[in-house]
Amino acid sequence: MSISILLIPAALAAGAAVRAALAEGDAPEHAVTVRSRMRHRHLLAEALTAQEAEVTERGDALVAAWQGVTVAFTPHPSGAMMAHVEGSGYDLARAQELILAVDAAYAEIVQRELCRRVRERAGSVGMVVESEQVNVDRSVTLVLAEGR
């Protein structure tokens, strides 16, 4: 079975361009829309690798392969990303679950990179990281204080 999923970055989810593209029928026959933050190709590749996918590039597509399933991520004209899922026994619910797992891995990578940048740049604005805590929901709380 083959399923295509339109991945809409959260910031664009309410945008008129995305709604218009979907209303015009640009999405394939077996399609579902999933809100996603995935926009940066190199971070997406890292998230896919973290999900134990074999990642390759095919034209403008970033292709992830797991045992029994392949997902081709391609840019959509609306600014969102399309994920075309192919694999035996994959239905819409399982495809959506897979994409949401990749999105969660992507979010962790973005969070890690953001925290790294905050730590690196704190001194340049007269701040120091006073404490850092990883919360139960895996979010990170950084407390900055005026540098001494």
- Assess whether pLDDT exceeds 60 at residue 90: yes
Contact between 73 and 86 (Cβ < 8 Å): no
- Cβ-contact 115, 27 below 8 angstroms: no
**What is the model's pLDDT at position 37?**
67
pLDDT of residue 65: 93
C-alpha–C-alpha distance, residues 129 and 118, integer Å: 9
Fold of 2-120: Double Stranded RNA Binding Domain (3.30.160)
| Domain parsing of the chain, residue ranges | 2-120
pLDDT at 88: 78
Bridging pattern class, strands 2-9 and 54-58: unpaired
Confidence of residue 143 (pLDDT cuts 50, 70, 90): confident
Up-side HSE of residue 75: CA atoms within 13 Å toward CB?
8
- For residue 84, give Cα distances in angstroms to 42, 63, 72, 103, 135: 18, 9, 5, 15, 34
The residue-averaged pLDDT of 73-99 equals 80
- Among 38-42, 49-53, 112-116, 136-140, the least confident range: 38-42
Residues 51 and 137: their CA atoms lie apart, in Å, by 19
Handedness of CA 114, 119, 124, 125 (dihedral sign): positive
Q: Which residue has the higher pLDDT, 31 or 132?
A: 132
For the stretch 15-73, pLDDT in tens is 444 444 444 445 455 555 555 667 788 899 999 999 999 999 999 899 999 888 898 88
pTM for the complete prediction?
A: 0.71
Residues 6+ apart with CB under 8 A from 117: none
